[in-house]
């Protein structure tokens, strides 16, 4: 019975890995060939987000965006690496984050998609400026989310109560969702950038958890 359950979970994990990769490749092709349908969707979402702003949310989403910036994630990774739990937590989270960041950079350089034009904040907010790097895929949706989600998942086994893992997982998923929306709200990413980043994030994170569970990296296994 236990073996059958493990086989089912293994197959489900493999399906999720492949599905996420297929979704990313599909979006990548649409963006690369400049498919009209994806361009229409992107501009429609960007117009809706930029046309429904309030000053409070300008500040709120800029702060969320800062929490996903490369410098912020780099500082947090360095802090994790100096903690006593660096082998079980800091090192794997940092390696996964760096891997994701490098992959994101490579794809951005290859695709060279420019940022949305004409949708950025009309008023200066907390010194936040339009990013100058390429747009596809979103680094926040991919790498920042990988950092926060992997940190949460690798920490689950160390919680002392049954409810803490559920609450922390729900909160971090909500946080990551809002951070993705922040990129749309601020007008610095297209909707397809976000979807591509999310699909790559799911692919890398699922692949990592699969490798951890079915190899000898037992000290990282979140399932035990």
DSSP string, 71-88: HHHHHHHHHHHTSTTIII
Q: pLDDT at position 223, please? A: 40
User: What DSSP designation does 187 have?
Assistant: T
**Distance, CA of 96 to CA of 76 (rounded, Å):** 14
Structural domain count of the chain: 1
Give the range of the structural domain holding residue 21, as residue numbers without chain letter. 2-220
The structure tokens listed for 124 are 């200066």
Handedness of CA 102, 115, 35, 194 (dihedral sign): positive
- Residue 216 DSSP SS3: coil
Nearest to 48 by CA among 180, 137, 181: 181
Per-residue pLDDT of the chain (224 residues; tens, 9 = 90+): 555 555 677 788 889 999 999 999 999 999 999 999 999 999 999 999 988 899 999 999 999 999 999 999 999 999 999 988 777 788 889 999 999 999 999 999 999 999 999 899 988 999 999 999 999 999 999 999 999 999 998 888 777 777 878 888 899 999 999 999 999 999 999 999 999 999 999 999 999 888 877 766 545 544 44
Q: Are 140 and 180 within 8 A, CB to CB?
A: yes
Angle, helices 2-32/191-213, rounded to nearest 10 degrees = 150
Q: Are 130 and 189 within 8 A, CB to CB?
A: no
């Amino acid at each position: 019975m236990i073996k059958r359950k493990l086989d089912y979970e293994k197959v489900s994990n493999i399906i999720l890995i492949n599905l996420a990769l297929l979704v990313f490749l599909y979006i990548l092709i649409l963006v690369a060939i400049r498919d009209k349908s994806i361009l229409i969707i992107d501009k429609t979402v960007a117009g809706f987000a930029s046309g429904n702003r309030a000053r409070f949310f300008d500040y709120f989403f800029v702060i969320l965006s800062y929490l996903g910036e490369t410098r912020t994630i780099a500082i947090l990774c360095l802090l994790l690496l100096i903690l006593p739990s660096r082998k079980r937590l800091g090192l794997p989270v940092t390696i996964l984050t760096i891997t994701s960041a490098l992959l994101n950079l490579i794809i951005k350089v290859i695709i060279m998609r420019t940022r949305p034009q004409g949708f950025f904040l009309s008023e200066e907010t907390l010194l936040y400026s339009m990013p100058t790097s390429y747009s596809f895929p979103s680094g926040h949706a991919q790498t920042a989310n990988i950092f926060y989600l992997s940190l949460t998942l690798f920490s689950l086994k160390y919680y002392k109560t049954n409810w803490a893992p559920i609450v922390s997982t729900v909160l971090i998923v909500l946080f990551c969702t809002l951070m993705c929306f922040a990129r749309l709200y601020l007008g610095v990413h297209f909707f397809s950038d976000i979807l591509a980043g999310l699909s790559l994030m799911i692919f890398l994170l699922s692949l990592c958890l699969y490798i951890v569970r079915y190899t000898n990296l037992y000290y990282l296994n979140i399932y035990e």
